[in-house]
Amino acid sequence: MTAVPAPPTAPPIFVVQEHWSKQRHFDFRLEISGRLVSWALPKGPSLDPSVRRLAVRTMDHPLGYAIFEGVIPAPQYGAGLVVVWDTGTFRPLLPKGLDEEAWLTRGRLKFLLRGQKLHGLWEMVRYREEGTSEDEDWLLVKHRDRFARRRFRLESLPTSALTGRTPDEIERSSGKWVMPDHAHPLETWVAPSARPVAEG
């Protein structure tokens, strides 16, 4: 596959991947400076502004990973089912004079999401407690706006934002997976139904 550079005007993307590895969690990823800055949320995002969700910063991922949906085979790191639970674009609300990297380093990210399940104003805030682990712990919180929902349940929205499939359907149809390259997902994504189905 040939990498197609993203047009300079393309808004950055976000993706939330539900991941059944040893412990099921949600990987929340924002496109910042050409890579996916990533956090693992044990409980996933909540649309309820009174709920703050732990988000542990993890490895940056290449942009192409945003369209990964399928089963990561054992014994690879992260083996298990991955579902693109939500995806879309976002708008970073950068304070005057800060570029995206300085914004990230500062540890207080406000942004507007335009996904299929997640919308509106969100904030990701880093916090550190003395004497605790060296993991980078952040909190993700929904701001109060017309997209906020009290008593939100993630389980009410189980299907893939890319393909509309349920996790079971994805697991059953997952053949050999070829990792996409680092191209911009919005340029290169091909519906799984259009891909040749791997045997076995």
Q: Nearest approach, Cβ of 117 to Mn ion (angstroms)?
A: 18
Q: Which residues bind Mn ion (CB under 5 A)?
A: 19, 27
Q: Nearest approach, Cβ of 18 to Mn ion (angstroms)?
A: 9
Which residue among 43, 96, 142, 176 is the active-site one? 176
Q: Nearest approach, Cβ of 43 to Mn ion (angstroms)?
A: 14
DSSP 95-134: PTT--HHHHHHHTEEEEEEE-SS-EEEEEEEEE--TTS-S
- One-letter amino acid of 52: R
Q: Nearest approach, Cβ of 37 to Mn ion (angstroms)?
A: 14
> Are residues 70 and 82 in contact, defined by beta-carbon separation less than 8 angstroms?
yes
In 3D space, the residue among 170, 154, 171 whose CA is nearest the CA of residue 162 turns out to be: 170
Sorted by sequence, the CB contacts under 8 Å of residue 119 that are 6+ apart come out as 113, 147
Any catalytic annotation for residue 96? Answer: no
57-75 burial string, b = 16+ CB within 10 Å, else e?
Answer: bbeebebbbbbbbbbbeee
The residue among 27 and 69 lying less far from Mn ion, judged by its C-beta, is 27
* Surface-to-core class of residue 175, CB atoms within 10 Å of its CB (0-12 exposed, 13-18 middle, 19+ buried): middle
Q: Nearest approach, Cβ of 172 to Mn ion (angstroms)?
A: 21
Task: Give backbone dihedrals phi and psi of 151, rounded to 5 degrees, phi first.
Answer: 50, 45
DSSP summary character for residue 167: H
The residue among 40 and 118 lying less far from Mn ion, judged by its C-beta, is 40
Tell me which residue has its CB nearest to Mn ion.
19
The residue among 68 and 103 lying less far from Mn ion, judged by its C-beta, is 68
* Surface-to-core class of residue 168, CB atoms within 10 Å of its CB (0-12 exposed, 13-18 middle, 19+ buried): exposed
- Catalytic residues, which ones? 176
